[in-house]
Structure 1
Amino acid sequence: MRVSENRLKWIMRLYPPMLFQRIWVVKFEPGFRGVTVRVKKSFLNKNYNKSIFGGTIFSAADPFYPVLFHQIFSNKGYRIIVWLKACDIRYIKPARTTLSFTIQLSDNDITEAENNLNRIGKNVKAYPIEMIDENGILCASLLSEVYMRNLDYVDNKQTAAV
Protein backbone atom coordinates (compact mmCIF):
# COMPACT_ATOMS: atom_id res chain seq x y z
CA MET A 1 0.00 0.00 0.00
CA ARG A 2 1.51 3.31 -1.10
CA VAL A 3 0.40 6.32 0.92
CA SER A 4 1.65 9.77 1.85
CA GLU A 5 3.78 10.32 4.93
CA ASN A 6 0.99 12.21 6.67
CA ARG A 7 -1.70 9.62 5.91
CA LEU A 8 0.48 6.73 7.11
CA LYS A 9 1.29 8.67 10.28
CA TRP A 10 -2.43 8.88 11.09
CA ILE A 11 -3.14 5.28 10.09
CA MET A 12 -0.44 4.07 12.46
CA ARG A 13 -1.46 6.46 15.23
CA LEU A 14 -5.03 5.13 15.17
CA TYR A 15 -4.22 1.46 14.58
CA PRO A 16 -5.63 -0.12 17.78
CA PRO A 17 -2.60 -2.24 18.79
CA MET A 18 -0.45 0.89 18.71
CA LEU A 19 -3.05 3.34 20.02
CA PHE A 20 -3.88 1.28 23.11
CA GLN A 21 -0.20 0.75 23.91
CA ARG A 22 0.29 4.53 23.57
CA ILE A 23 2.73 4.20 20.66
CA TRP A 24 2.54 7.49 18.77
CA VAL A 25 4.11 8.27 15.42
CA VAL A 26 5.33 11.85 15.74
CA LYS A 27 6.30 12.18 12.07
CA PHE A 28 7.60 10.45 8.99
CA GLU A 29 10.43 12.21 7.18
CA PRO A 30 9.86 13.22 3.55
CA GLY A 31 10.30 10.27 1.20
CA PHE A 32 9.99 7.90 4.19
CA ARG A 33 13.70 8.43 4.95
CA GLY A 34 13.00 8.31 8.69
CA VAL A 35 10.46 8.28 11.47
CA THR A 36 10.18 9.64 15.00
CA VAL A 37 8.12 7.64 17.49
CA ARG A 38 7.08 8.23 21.09
CA VAL A 39 5.89 5.65 23.62
CA LYS A 40 3.90 7.42 26.29
CA LYS A 41 3.82 5.79 29.70
CA SER A 42 0.24 5.25 30.85
CA PHE A 43 -1.83 2.91 32.98
CA LEU A 44 -2.45 0.85 29.81
CA ASN A 45 1.22 -0.09 29.38
CA LYS A 46 2.60 0.12 32.92
CA ASN A 47 3.88 -3.06 34.55
CA TYR A 48 4.13 -4.18 38.17
CA ASN A 49 7.36 -2.18 38.62
CA LYS A 50 5.69 1.03 37.39
CA SER A 51 7.74 1.08 34.19
CA ILE A 52 6.66 0.51 30.57
CA PHE A 53 6.11 -3.14 29.68
CA GLY A 54 8.92 -4.69 27.68
CA GLY A 55 6.35 -5.94 25.18
CA THR A 56 5.19 -2.39 24.53
CA ILE A 57 8.78 -1.29 23.97
CA PHE A 58 9.32 -4.15 21.54
CA SER A 59 6.01 -3.46 19.77
CA ALA A 60 7.00 0.15 19.27
CA ALA A 61 10.14 -0.83 17.38
CA ASP A 62 8.75 -3.78 15.45
CA PRO A 63 7.13 -2.25 12.33
CA PHE A 64 9.12 0.83 11.45
CA TYR A 65 12.16 -0.33 9.47
CA PRO A 66 9.96 -2.64 7.34
CA VAL A 67 7.40 0.15 6.80
CA LEU A 68 10.08 2.64 5.74
CA PHE A 69 11.74 0.25 3.31
CA HIS A 70 8.40 -0.92 1.91
CA GLN A 71 7.27 2.63 1.22
CA ILE A 72 10.59 3.68 -0.32
CA PHE A 73 10.76 0.73 -2.70
CA SER A 74 7.04 0.71 -3.52
CA ASN A 75 7.37 4.35 -4.52
CA LYS A 76 10.27 3.33 -6.79
CA GLY A 77 8.00 0.82 -8.52
CA TYR A 78 9.20 -2.39 -6.86
CA ARG A 79 6.82 -5.19 -5.94
CA ILE A 80 8.35 -6.10 -2.60
CA ILE A 81 7.76 -7.99 0.62
CA VAL A 82 9.42 -6.59 3.73
CA TRP A 83 9.20 -7.95 7.26
CA LEU A 84 11.10 -8.05 10.52
CA LYS A 85 13.00 -11.33 10.46
CA ALA A 86 14.59 -11.10 13.90
CA CYS A 87 15.16 -8.61 16.66
CA ASP A 88 17.62 -8.54 19.53
CA ILE A 89 16.47 -6.29 22.35
CA ARG A 90 18.44 -5.22 25.40
CA TYR A 91 16.55 -3.62 28.27
CA ILE A 92 19.13 -1.38 29.85
CA LYS A 93 17.13 0.68 32.36
CA PRO A 94 13.47 0.59 33.41
CA ALA A 95 11.41 2.96 31.27
CA ARG A 96 9.82 5.09 33.98
CA THR A 97 8.94 7.99 31.67
CA THR A 98 7.86 8.41 28.06
CA LEU A 99 10.32 6.91 25.55
CA SER A 100 11.20 8.16 22.11
CA PHE A 101 13.33 7.06 19.19
CA THR A 102 14.20 8.22 15.72
CA ILE A 103 15.15 6.06 12.76
CA GLN A 104 17.02 7.57 9.82
CA LEU A 105 17.80 5.69 6.61
CA SER A 106 20.89 6.92 4.80
CA ASP A 107 21.38 7.01 1.05
CA ASN A 108 23.89 4.19 1.58
CA ASP A 109 21.27 2.02 3.38
CA ILE A 110 18.85 2.45 0.49
CA THR A 111 21.45 1.99 -2.26
CA GLU A 112 22.83 -1.15 -0.63
CA ALA A 113 19.35 -2.66 -0.27
CA GLU A 114 18.43 -1.76 -3.86
CA ASN A 115 21.64 -3.26 -5.24
CA ASN A 116 20.97 -6.51 -3.38
CA LEU A 117 17.33 -6.59 -4.49
CA ASN A 118 18.40 -6.21 -8.11
CA ARG A 119 21.45 -8.51 -7.92
CA ILE A 120 20.23 -11.44 -5.76
CA GLY A 121 16.53 -10.68 -5.28
CA LYS A 122 16.66 -10.09 -1.54
CA ASN A 123 18.29 -8.06 1.20
CA VAL A 124 18.75 -9.04 4.83
CA LYS A 125 20.41 -6.62 7.21
CA ALA A 126 20.20 -5.56 10.86
CA TYR A 127 19.55 -1.93 11.81
CA PRO A 128 19.80 -0.30 15.26
CA ILE A 129 17.17 1.45 17.38
CA GLU A 130 17.88 3.22 20.67
CA MET A 131 15.02 4.22 22.95
CA ILE A 132 15.66 7.21 25.16
CA ASP A 133 13.51 8.42 28.08
CA GLU A 134 12.55 12.02 28.85
CA ASN A 135 15.74 12.45 30.90
CA GLY A 136 17.98 11.42 28.02
CA ILE A 137 18.70 8.00 29.52
CA LEU A 138 19.07 5.02 27.19
CA CYS A 139 16.46 2.48 28.30
CA ALA A 140 16.44 -0.05 25.46
CA SER A 141 18.69 -0.90 22.56
CA LEU A 142 17.48 -3.03 19.65
CA LEU A 143 18.99 -4.57 16.57
CA SER A 144 16.24 -5.22 14.02
CA GLU A 145 17.00 -7.65 11.19
CA VAL A 146 14.92 -6.72 8.15
CA TYR A 147 14.17 -9.15 5.32
CA MET A 148 13.28 -7.76 1.87
CA ARG A 149 12.31 -9.76 -1.20
CA ASN A 150 11.96 -8.36 -4.73
CA LEU A 151 8.91 -10.18 -6.13
CA ASP A 152 9.91 -9.31 -9.71
CA TYR A 153 13.44 -10.70 -9.44
CA VAL A 154 14.33 -13.36 -11.99
CA ASP A 155 17.48 -15.38 -11.43
CA ASN A 156 19.08 -15.41 -14.87
CA LYS A 157 21.41 -18.25 -13.88
CA GLN A 158 18.47 -20.59 -13.20
CA THR A 159 16.56 -19.61 -16.37
CA ALA A 160 19.71 -20.07 -18.51
CA ALA A 161 20.20 -23.61 -17.12
CA VAL A 162 16.69 -24.72 -18.10
Structure 2
Amino acid sequence: MTPRRLRLLMNLWPPFLFAGIRVTAMGEGFRHARVELRQRWYNRNYVGTHFGGNLFAMTDPFWMIMTLRALGNDHVVWDKAGEIEFVRPGRGLVHAEFVLDEATLQTIRDATAGDAKYLHWFTTDVLDASGEPVARVRKQIYVRRKRRAAPPGAEPRPVR
Protein backbone atom coordinates (compact mmCIF):
# COMPACT_ATOMS: atom_id res chain seq x y z
CA MET A 1 0.00 0.00 0.00
CA THR A 2 1.29 3.44 -0.85
CA PRO A 3 1.50 6.26 1.71
CA ARG A 4 -1.07 8.24 -0.30
CA ARG A 5 -3.57 5.37 -0.29
CA LEU A 6 -3.07 4.76 3.43
CA ARG A 7 -3.68 8.47 4.11
CA LEU A 8 -6.92 8.39 2.09
CA LEU A 9 -8.13 5.21 3.80
CA MET A 10 -7.33 6.55 7.26
CA ASN A 11 -9.36 9.68 6.50
CA LEU A 12 -12.34 7.41 5.74
CA TRP A 13 -11.77 5.18 8.80
CA PRO A 14 -14.81 5.72 11.05
CA PRO A 15 -12.90 6.56 14.28
CA PHE A 16 -11.15 9.39 12.42
CA LEU A 17 -13.95 10.39 10.06
CA PHE A 18 -16.62 10.81 12.74
CA ALA A 19 -14.28 12.57 15.17
CA GLY A 20 -13.14 15.11 12.58
CA ILE A 21 -9.54 13.84 12.55
CA ARG A 22 -7.73 14.31 9.23
CA VAL A 23 -4.44 12.85 8.09
CA THR A 24 -2.99 15.68 6.00
CA ALA A 25 0.37 14.12 5.13
CA MET A 26 1.90 10.66 4.95
CA GLY A 27 5.49 10.83 3.72
CA GLU A 28 7.23 8.51 1.30
CA GLY A 29 8.63 5.48 3.06
CA PHE A 30 6.16 6.06 5.92
CA ARG A 31 8.75 8.14 7.79
CA HIS A 32 6.56 11.22 8.34
CA ALA A 33 2.88 11.89 9.07
CA ARG A 34 0.83 14.93 10.01
CA VAL A 35 -2.64 14.81 11.55
CA GLU A 36 -5.08 17.65 12.25
CA LEU A 37 -8.21 18.03 14.31
CA ARG A 38 -10.43 21.05 13.80
CA GLN A 39 -12.79 21.82 16.65
CA ARG A 40 -16.45 21.35 15.73
CA TRP A 41 -19.71 21.22 17.65
CA TYR A 42 -19.60 17.40 17.59
CA ASN A 43 -16.07 16.97 18.98
CA ARG A 44 -16.14 19.42 21.90
CA ASN A 45 -16.31 18.33 25.48
CA TYR A 46 -18.63 19.67 28.17
CA VAL A 47 -16.53 22.79 28.79
CA GLY A 48 -16.09 23.67 25.10
CA THR A 49 -12.55 22.43 24.48
CA HIS A 50 -11.26 19.48 22.46
CA PHE A 51 -12.43 16.11 23.79
CA GLY A 52 -9.37 14.40 25.29
CA GLY A 53 -10.23 11.06 23.72
CA ASN A 54 -9.97 12.62 20.27
CA LEU A 55 -6.58 14.14 21.10
CA PHE A 56 -5.35 10.67 22.03
CA ALA A 57 -7.08 8.99 19.06
CA MET A 58 -5.48 11.35 16.56
CA THR A 59 -2.04 10.07 17.63
CA ASP A 60 -2.92 6.44 18.26
CA PRO A 61 -1.98 4.31 15.23
CA PHE A 62 0.89 6.23 13.67
CA TRP A 63 4.01 5.04 15.49
CA MET A 64 2.99 1.40 15.14
CA ILE A 65 2.08 1.72 11.44
CA MET A 66 5.13 3.79 10.53
CA THR A 67 7.53 1.46 12.36
CA LEU A 68 5.94 -1.66 10.85
CA ARG A 69 6.09 -0.25 7.32
CA ALA A 70 9.68 1.01 7.73
CA LEU A 71 11.01 -2.28 9.16
CA GLY A 72 9.28 -4.49 6.61
CA ASN A 73 7.61 -7.88 6.77
CA ASP A 74 10.23 -9.63 8.90
CA HIS A 75 9.19 -7.82 12.11
CA VAL A 76 6.16 -7.97 14.38
CA VAL A 77 5.09 -4.55 15.68
CA TRP A 78 2.29 -3.94 18.20
CA ASP A 79 1.11 -1.07 20.33
CA LYS A 80 1.97 -1.95 23.91
CA ALA A 81 1.02 1.07 26.03
CA GLY A 82 -0.04 4.67 25.80
CA GLU A 83 -0.47 7.68 28.04
CA ILE A 84 -1.53 11.28 27.60
CA GLU A 85 -0.77 14.40 29.59
CA PHE A 86 -3.11 17.33 29.04
CA VAL A 87 -0.90 20.42 29.09
CA ARG A 88 -3.53 23.10 28.47
CA PRO A 89 -7.08 23.33 27.07
CA GLY A 90 -7.16 22.78 23.33
CA ARG A 91 -9.33 24.94 21.09
CA GLY A 92 -9.56 25.52 17.36
CA LEU A 93 -7.22 23.66 15.03
CA VAL A 94 -4.68 21.31 16.64
CA HIS A 95 -2.14 19.10 14.93
CA ALA A 96 0.49 16.43 15.58
CA GLU A 97 3.55 15.47 13.56
CA PHE A 98 5.36 12.14 13.51
CA VAL A 99 8.91 11.77 12.18
CA LEU A 100 10.58 8.35 12.26
CA ASP A 101 14.32 8.81 11.85
CA GLU A 102 16.91 6.29 10.68
CA ALA A 103 18.75 6.33 14.03
CA THR A 104 15.62 5.11 15.83
CA LEU A 105 15.05 2.41 13.23
CA GLN A 106 18.66 1.25 13.54
CA THR A 107 18.33 1.08 17.33
CA ILE A 108 15.25 -1.11 16.89
CA ARG A 109 16.95 -3.32 14.27
CA ASP A 110 20.00 -3.79 16.50
CA ALA A 111 17.88 -4.60 19.56
CA THR A 112 15.84 -7.20 17.68
CA ALA A 113 18.69 -8.81 15.72
CA GLY A 114 18.21 -12.08 17.60
CA ASP A 115 14.95 -13.35 19.04
CA ALA A 116 14.74 -10.54 21.57
CA LYS A 117 11.72 -8.33 21.91
CA TYR A 118 12.21 -4.59 22.17
CA LEU A 119 9.97 -1.96 23.75
CA HIS A 120 10.35 1.61 22.52
CA TRP A 121 8.64 4.79 23.73
CA PHE A 122 7.74 7.58 21.28
CA THR A 123 6.59 11.02 22.41
CA THR A 124 4.36 13.28 20.34
CA ASP A 125 3.14 16.77 21.18
CA VAL A 126 -0.31 17.88 20.05
CA LEU A 127 0.06 21.57 19.21
CA ASP A 128 -2.45 24.38 18.77
CA ALA A 129 -2.42 26.85 15.86
CA SER A 130 0.20 29.02 17.60
CA GLY A 131 2.52 26.05 18.15
CA GLU A 132 1.84 25.77 21.89
CA PRO A 133 1.48 22.23 23.31
CA VAL A 134 -2.05 21.15 24.20
CA ALA A 135 -1.23 17.54 25.05
CA ARG A 136 1.79 15.26 25.22
CA VAL A 137 1.18 11.68 24.13
CA ARG A 138 3.55 8.78 24.78
CA LYS A 139 3.15 5.50 22.93
CA GLN A 140 5.11 2.34 23.59
CA ILE A 141 5.51 -0.19 20.81
CA TYR A 142 6.57 -3.83 21.03
CA VAL A 143 8.91 -5.03 18.27
CA ARG A 144 10.55 -8.37 17.54
CA ARG A 145 11.68 -10.26 14.48
CA LYS A 146 9.22 -12.82 13.15
CA ARG A 147 10.01 -16.39 14.01
CA ARG A 148 10.58 -18.40 10.87
CA ALA A 149 9.59 -22.03 10.49
CA ALA A 150 12.52 -24.40 10.99
CA PRO A 151 13.81 -26.09 7.84
CA PRO A 152 12.87 -29.79 7.45
CA GLY A 153 14.90 -32.02 9.78
CA ALA A 154 16.10 -29.13 11.94
CA GLU A 155 15.87 -29.13 15.71
CA PRO A 156 12.69 -27.27 16.82
CA ARG A 157 13.17 -23.97 18.61
CA PRO A 158 12.53 -23.98 22.33
CA VAL A 159 9.32 -22.24 23.37
CA ARG A 160 9.92 -19.19 25.56
Q: TM-score range by the shorter chain?
A: 0.7 to 0.9
Q: 1:96 aligns with which of 87, 91, 113?
A: 91
How far 1:153 moved relative to its partner? 6.0
Residue 24 (structure 2) pairs with residue 29 (structure 1): no
Match of 2:38 in 1: 40
RMSD between aligned residues:
1.8
Match of 2:58 in 1: 60
Aligned length: 152
Give the whole-Å Cα distance in 1 for the aligned partners of 2:76 and 2:47: 38
Report the residue type matching 1:132 in the other structure. Answer: L
Choose 81-90 or 94-103, whichever is displaced more. 81-90
**Aligned pairs (5 A) from 1:5-154:** 5-74=3-72, 77-78=73-74, 80-152=75-147
* Unmatched segments (≥5 aa) in structure 2: 150-155
Give the whole-Å Cα distance in 1 for the aligned partners of 2:148 and 2:111: 11
Choose 80-89 or 60-69, whichever is displaced more. 80-89
Pick the structure with more helix per residue.
1
* Unmatched segments (≥5 aa) in structure 1: none
User: Is the CA contact (8 Å cut-off) linking 2:49 and 2:90 kept in structure 1?
Assistant: yes
Q: TM-score, normalised by structure 2?
A: 0.87
Give the whole-Å Cα distance in 2 for the aligned partners of 1:24 and 1:140: 17
- Which structure would you say has the larger Rg? 2
Report the residue type matching 2:114 in the other structure. Answer: R
Identity percentage over the alignment? 25
Give the whole-Å Cα distance in 2 for the aligned partners of 1:68 and 1:153: 23
How far 1:42 moved relative to its partner? 1.1
Report the residue type matching 1:21 in the other structure. Answer: A
How far 1:159 moved relative to its partner? 4.1
